[in-house]
Chain A
Amino acid sequence: MKSFKIIMVALMVLSSTALIAQIKNAQTETVKIFGNCDMCKTAIETAGNIKNTASVDWNKDSQMAEITFDSKKSNRDEILKRIALAGYDNDHYLAPDNAYAQLSECCKYERQKKEPAMAMSLSKMEMEMHESKMEMNMTSSENHANMLMPEMKESNSLEIVFDTYFAISDALVKTNAVTASAKASELLNAIKVLKIETFKTADQAALTKVLPSLVADAKGISESKDIVKQRSKNMHEILAYYSSHEPLYFQYCPMQDANWLSKEKAIKNPYYGSQMLSCGSTVETIEHNN
């Protein structure tokens, strides 16, 4: 495990520099953006990112975001306004009430800067919008992970590997074989485009060691539409190097005698999904050290 931690830190540095390199006249600022969970992270970054112009990296724990932008094409306020319109209060903008109301339950962070005087009653419009959004959410919930992808491609290829890993895990947790299979194909593609020679020698060695089994497992999942077969794959072999500021949890399923990585401390067992969702334990917390 230790060696992976080292790789993780190393790669994090790599990935962040790669990110900035795409944006010309880059200027970086750190701002506070309120939010709760990983869904928030996705939503915030999706709202803020513009290809080759602006990129947002939000940290769930500190609720701080590093925003990098082309100072000739964009500015801090413009990016933060877009994020606020997606429902997230920040240092400079407060989200419209109905944008906040449309956030999914897990994203409903506590609004701090909101003056109580401002609590306006939800008008019918907002209610309707809310309902419609809910509907949309329902129809597109499985697309949700899909929506992640375009943004991720902009940041860097390794991050796609990480994110597809978690998407697979998520799909397995939700007992969604089709999505799991699709995500696994994406993971394969992501690995294909990974340029190993660009990493440091030590990292290269580690990567070449884990990649074959990673590819094999991903292939297995992608080729099957049967959730049981998918789950029989050794999730713990699919190793992730995560470039996040947040801790990761290395978790263990005693029934399968297998491990997996998770972004959440709470157990959501990908091997059994809804059958035995909370079975398992956290073996190790991989803290990110700044």
Chain B
Amino acid sequence: MKKLILVLLFLGTFSLQAQNIVRYDLYVRDTLVNFSGKERHAIAVNGQIPMPTLTFTEGDIAEIYVHNELDEETSLHWHGLFLPNKEDGVPYLTQMPIPPHTVHKYTFPIIQHGTHWYHSHFGLQEQIGMYGSMILNKRTDDKTFRKGIDDLPTIPIILSEWTDIKPENVHRMLHNASDWFAIKKGTTQSYGEAIKTGYFKIKLHNEWKRMLAMDVSDVYYEKFLINGKSENEDTSLKGLKAGDKVRLRISNGGASSYFWLTYAGGKITVVANDGNDLEPVDVDRMLIAVSETYDVVVTIPADDTAFEFLATSEDRIKSASIYLGTGIKQLTSPLPKLKYFEGMEMMNGMMKMNGDLDQMGMNMSMQQMDMNVVMYPEITGPAANGKGMKMDKDDEEHSGHKMEQMNGMKMSEDMYKSNELSDITTLNYAMLKSPTVTTLPEDAPIKELHFTLTGNMSRYVWSLDNKVISETDKILIKKGEKVRITMYNNSMMRHPMHLHGHDFRLLNGEGEYAPLKNVVDIMPMETDVIEFEANVEGDWFFHCHILYHMMSGMGRVFSYENQEPNPLIPNPALALRKLKGDDRAFHLMAENDFATNGNDGQLMIQSTRWSIGTEWRLGYNDMHGYETETHIGRYIGKMQWLMPFVGFDWRYRKLGHNEFEENLFGQKNTKDNRSLVSLGVAYTLPMLVVAQAEIFTDGNVRLQFERNDIPLTQRLRMNLMWNTDKEYMAGLRYIATRNLGVTTHYDSDMGFGIGAMLNY
């Protein structure tokens, strides 16, 4: 009898646990939002942005029904979760996208705890509202339950950003190296500004090294948001008193923004990262990378006061706030503006002529050395800017070089160690330590992988080992292997690299207690090593989580050898083609100058490697003539400075009777009526001058030098061109709006003109 009861009891608890199904219904709909004063299209789930916070407890079974009421496809990815591959939500990789007006059910057991989040992995939907918090609570009987942390009142926080420009257009503009975002941010770093602030030589040096204006982020955002708002009063926790502690579960759901986190009420205690517990560590501030999560504990220091928790975008243009506690609001100081020209000087120093980064013998890793500190006034002193410049010039020189002298050598690691340069403690990866041993099985075979993160800002190509997703095969790994990945960032931007379906150990010097993460942010010139145990079959995405980098092809797929086919991918070949389609896309650029002396314009479509472009000059009469040049070329090399091309020229003009033009090489040409094919090569020289050599089917040769878009002031650009056909052109363009400019130019064929430039 006793035995029977025992057995029954056992069954009872078992079934109880099995039945703990938590169901969510998510209705995905198009919506109109107004974040910035302008109505824009966005996507809301259950009528809200961000998507609702999903809460589970470890041991639950999640059942999530996605009702796709959009007119386009979608899919949801559960960021940082361990789950069967077919529930991972990567379209064309782990499932086919959810068709419009259908329902898809995701279901998986919750086998971990921690702060995570979820977002659309389809196209650019993440940018326009499809992100939300996902909180997996610890069971109260969990051995790792931490009193004083896991039982604190909790606020889920999801950070994000809003742009009024459609994300597809943002992506296109980035690929066309549009400087509209820089204009909006005030970070053009033009020659005018450089001269005014005494950085002319540095600007010259910068362009000599073929770099465009530098920035820490690519996109201008109208608003930054905490839980969908710029200003939040926390209403979920009532009656907070002095001394009370609050746990914030923060996820960065921004598509491309890193955020500085600061708090008006004192220190921030970091207790978990990417859903994994950490030994608590106190900091003054921290930078949360795109798609990372951090759990922090803050103290309410006083009664009747609400303390500001501030999230500032990395470029420090704007911020979002949430106030903890009730009463009068205690603000925290905004972060001072970046010193961009100092940053430019730093970039000049680390950039080699061939476009590689020069580590100068420094071993950079784990965010401990931050080259960007040269731009932080709060660490390296205020900018010597504008009018004050003259007076402070000596002083600035002094302090700028003082540091070099202090350390005896030209450059030194200590120059960039933020925490040693000031009393402000900034979190870095070396400070993360797991409270439990995280070592992987010792006897497991090791698979070593090396990646160099590569990129090219001017063409917005982001890749691993200079190959985008569509140019590579899936990387095969075996179940039971220990996969160790060494990554070196040879690009000028930082990249938050995210691995699906697994946590990895970040080898940060903590030995057995290395922290577990699923996103590692790698700064320029840093080398980081991660390792994980291959324990769940499937095709797992590994990619940079900056949305526009990912869509440009910065990633790889890890695939387990000899695995079962995924039932949700009925046609793997088609799916693979679709997956690779993202970074194979061509981006359109078009402009036409409606000038008094004719129409000048070009149309270009470009992909990662190919460029198809047509330029035209259409006069208003036969004398001026009409001509077009079409080039189909392929970019070569990592920096893509070299482009061989095939050209097609067509020209019609009436110069008069038997008039010939002679080029510099003595070759003659009527130029009046010709249609020719050519072979040529274009190469970007220092100072961003494009040199182009071309040989035509009639034997004529042409050399041309062209420099476009020299930034004279914030909005004024200059174009210069000269070639061996004795043609030349000089022009100015004032950028009035995103699509409109006012131009004036002089052209050897068509003379002087002023016009209006429309560009797309």
Binding site for B on A (CB under 8 A): 73, 77-78, 81, 84-85, 91-96, 98-99, 113, 115, 117-118, 120, 123-126, 128-129, 132, 135-136, 139-140, 143
Cβ contact within 8 Å between B266 and A120 = yes
Cβ contact within 8 Å between A123 and B329 = no
Q: Is B219 an interface residue (CB 8 A)?
A: no
* 6 nearest A-B pairs in the assembled complex, by CB-CB distance: A124-B423, A115-B302, A132-B382, A96-B333, A94-B330, A125-B378
Q: Is B377 an interface residue (CB 8 A)?
A: yes
Q: Which residues of B contact A95 (CB under 8 A)?
A: 331
Which listed residue, A98, A135, A139, A143, touches B333 by the CB 8 Å rule? A98
What's the Cα separation between A143 and B242 when bound, in Å?
A: 43
Q: Which residues of A contact B332 (CB under 8 A)?
A: 96
Chain A nearest Cβ from B431, distance in angstroms: 18
Main secondary structure of the interface of A (DSSP, over half): helix
Binary per-residue interface labels of chain B (386-397) against chain A in the complex, 1 for a CB within 8 Å, 0 otherwise: 011001100000
Cβ contact within 8 Å between A94 and B328 = yes
What are 6 A-B interface contacts by the 8 Å CB criterion?
A84-B329, A95-B331, A117-B242, A125-B379, A129-B378, A140-B387
**Closest residue on chain A to residue B382 by CB atoms:** A132
Q: A93-B329, A132-B381 are in contact. Are A117 and B301 (CB under 8 A)?
A: yes
Chain B nearest Cβ from A280, distance in angstroms: 35
**Closest residue on chain A to residue B380 by CB atoms:** A128
Q: A96-B264, A125-B423 are in contact. Are A139 and B330 (CB under 8 A)?
A: no
What's the Cα separation between A8 and B464 when bound, in Å?
A: 73
What's the Cα separation between A123 and B242 when bound, in Å?
A: 22
**Closest residue on chain B to residue A124 by CB atoms:** B423
Q: Which residues of A contact B334 (CB under 8 A)?
A: 85
Q: A123-B424, A125-B423 are in contact. Are A118 and B377 (CB under 8 A)?
A: no
Q: Which residues of A contact B30 (CB under 8 A)?
A: none
Q: Which residues of B contact A123 (CB under 8 A)?
A: 284, 423-424
Cβ contact within 8 Å between A117 and B336 = no
Q: A-B pairs with CB below 8 Å: how many?
A: 81
Q: Is B412 an interface residue (CB 8 A)?
A: no
Which listed residue, A94, A98, A132, A140, touches B329 by the CB 8 Å rule? A94
Cβ contact within 8 Å between A117 and B423 = no
Main secondary structure of the interface of B (DSSP, over half): loop
Q: Is B305 an interface residue (CB 8 A)?
A: yes
What's the Cα separation between A98 and B333 when bound, in Å?
A: 7
Q: For window 620-652 of chain B, which residues contact chain A by CB distance below 8 Å?
A: none
Chain B nearest Cβ from A265, distance in angstroms: 32
Q: Is B422 an interface residue (CB 8 A)?
A: yes
**Closest residue on chain A to residue B329 by CB atoms:** A93
**Closest residue on chain B to residue A140 by CB atoms:** B388
Q: Which residues of B contact A120 (CB under 8 A)?
A: 266
What's the Cα separation between A78 and B231 when bound, in Å?
A: 9
Q: Which residues of A contact B265 (CB under 8 A)?
A: 118
What's the Cα separation between A128 and B422 when bound, in Å?
A: 10
Q: Is B303 an interface residue (CB 8 A)?
A: yes
Q: A118-B301, A136-B388 are in contact. Are A124 and B424 (CB under 8 A)?
A: yes
What's the Cα separation between A98 and B334 when bound, in Å?
A: 10
Binary per-residue interface labels of chain B (113-151) against chain A in the complex, 1 for a CB within 8 Å, 0 otherwise: 000000000000000000000000000000000000000
What's the Cα separation between A125 and B421 when bound, in Å?
A: 10
**Closest residue on chain A to residue B243 by CB atoms:** A117
Cβ contact within 8 Å between A129 and B336 = yes
Cβ contact within 8 Å between B305 and A125 = no
Cβ contact within 8 Å between B388 and A115 = no
**Closest residue on chain B to residue A127 by CB atoms:** B423
What's the Cα separation between A113 and B266 when bound, in Å?
A: 18
Q: For window 305-358 of chain B, which residues contact chain A by CB distance below 8 Å?
A: 305, 328-334, 336
What's the Cα separation between A84 and B305 when bound, in Å?
A: 14
Chain A nearest Cβ from B464, distance in angstroms: 37
Cβ contact within 8 Å between A139 and B388 = yes
Which listed residue, A91, A98, A115, A143, touches B303 by the CB 8 Å rule? A115
Binary per-residue interface labels of chain B (24-67) against chain A in the complex, 1 for a CB within 8 Å, 0 otherwise: 00000000000001000000000000000000000000000000
Interface-centre pick from A78, A91, A95, A117 (highest chain B CB count, 10 A): A117
Chain A nearest Cβ from B327, distance in angstroms: 9
Q: Which residues of B contact A78 (CB under 8 A)?
A: 231
Cβ contact within 8 Å between B422 and A115 = no
Which listed residue, A85, A117, A125, A128, touches B302 by the CB 8 Å rule? A117
What's the Cα separation between A146 and B303 when bound, in Å?
A: 41
